Structure 1
Amino acid sequence: MRTESTGYIVAVCLRRGHHFSKTPSLSIRLLAGLGVEGDGHMGALVQHRYDRRRDPARPNLRQVHLIPSELFDELRAEGFTIQPGDLGENVTTSGIDLAALPTGTRLHLGTQAVIELTGLREPCVLMDRFQEGLKAATEDRDANGRAVYKAGVMAIVVSDGEVAAGDAIETVLPEGRQRPLEPV
């Protein structure tokens, strides 16, 4: 693996139970194989309500949700009112193009925690319930007509650790053939 770039954490959020938005916190604790301690999406097996109904035995590839703060700037310029946690993310980042990273990229958050990117968050209808037009604002098409999702990325926790706003993020790309992130 090779280190690629460094960014930082803008905000951290969690919320017990299944809700669209999460509450900003001073810090969060990441637990290997489980996710964010105390968060409604924590667990080794799938916690997303729709996915759990379809196959409750699937591994949870959505333990941690990350969104770049640069997306919030873009959405604000389009007239949306968005703050950290509003779109359900656990970690708001700055300085890293999360969606451009390959599957398997490891992010070292703070001094101990390590997460591994598993895929993209596909925008859903709940986004429009939060603010009308938000789902379309987080979807796009590339030059080849393929869907581009800008609603953040999902990850699993590899190593425990507490993380907080201001902590550095070190990006480590996987070795070998790299696969682009797909929706999970």
Structure 2
Amino acid sequence: MLEVLVSGLVTGWAIAIPIGAVGAFLVTLTARTSYRVGAAAALGIATVDGVYAALAVLAGAALSALLEPVATPLRLASAAVLLVIAALTAWHAVRSSGSTRTPRPMSPRAAYLLFVGITAVNPATVVYFAAIVLGNTDLTSTAAEGAVFVAAAFVASASWQLALAAGGAALGRVATGPRGRLLTGLVSAAVIAGLALHTMLG
């Protein structure tokens, strides 16, 4: 069981630690809002990682086969959603920078749902977890081992995402004021647009 626990932790950290577009967006969002909002967003990412880990344990091979025929349309739809989010983020940043009032911050619930959506539209995540589980079938041969693997993957992902949120909160203390909010907002929009293009190109 210890081997399953370690495998789940390593798997969760392996997919979470490389800071891609979602991680960068998490940092800039937290910098513009608060650690509370960033922590909710971080848990949104970890939730999807946990769900995908569970799906991979339950039906990794079937899910991979199911996603393969629709991979291109799924990528294009995901990219379109991300581009809309990027445009809205940039528009909000520009609008907020022209106001002397502090913009109304995003709620933790909204941040959680936003990051669940952004992470969920990345089909590579479930394929990654499926590959790990299929390559280590002896690790999750029972329901208890599968549950430990999924829980460990979730905890590993959550621990790293919360650390990123803490970094974003520290950045936010430096990037205050309209100019700082504009910069972090536009960086967030560019990061999401980059993720959309990466998703589109596969």
More strand by share: 1
More helix by share: 2
**Normalising by the residue count of structure 2, what TM-score does the alignment of the two structures yield?**
0.22
Indicate the structure (1 or 2) with the bigger Cα radius of gyration: 2
Higher relative contact order (CA 8 A, sep 6+): 2
**Normalising by the residue count of structure 1, what TM-score does the alignment of the two structures yield?**
0.23
